[in-house]
Amino acid sequence: MAGRIETRGATAAAGYRHPAPPMAAVPMPPPARFSGYAAIFGEVDLSGDRIEPGAFAASLIGRRASEVRMLWQHDPARPVGRWIEIAEDRTGLKVTGEFALDTAGGREAAALAAAGAIDGLSIGFRTRLARRGSGSARRRLVTVDLWEISLVTFPMQAKARLTVIG
């Protein structure tokens, strides 16, 4: 029939419309940013070390946060993101990081953190100056050179944790 626009199975003139296909659920990526404390001042860790306030100051001068590596379980072959901000405050070494969601390791770390399956933080450092500790502290770390901060299952300091994700 002349003048009719036809669609599969029915004519447009008859008012037939194809139903829209159902929208597929698109999984949302896990949050990329998080913050927390990588070290707590004055707390004795599982090895008997106590980090003194100011221990990181010299290491952080002139060094960008992104130069301190973000690793998975202290494995240098498994970077999972980058640090955006690292600073000492009254509590300890406060950090803000961003997972590398364009990598499999970064996506895995972000998903595990978002699920609450992993929340530990741990520092990798070289001791510059330590003094003999007292009480349960074997050493008082006065000056350290910070190399990396890792997401870990079991941190040496119980309170070194991710606290904000999103």
pLDDT over 80 (residue 22)? no
**Among the listed residues 65, 55, 48, 162, the one whose alpha carbon sits nearest the alpha carbon of residue 114:** 162
φ, ψ for residue 65, nearest 5 deg = -55, -35
Is the model's pTM score more than 0.85?
Answer: no
Fill in the amino acid letter for 70: M
Judge whether 48 and 136 are in contact, CB under 8 Å: yes
CA dist 165 and 40 (Å) reads: 19
The string of pLDDT tens digits covering residues 29-55 is: 567 899 999 999 999 999 999 999 999
Query: CATH classification of 31-165, choosing from 3.20.16.10, 3.90.550.10, 3.40.1160.10, 3.30.365.10?
Result: 3.20.16.10
Report which listed range, 2-11, 122-131, 136-145, is most confident.
122-131
What pLDDT does 2 receive?
57
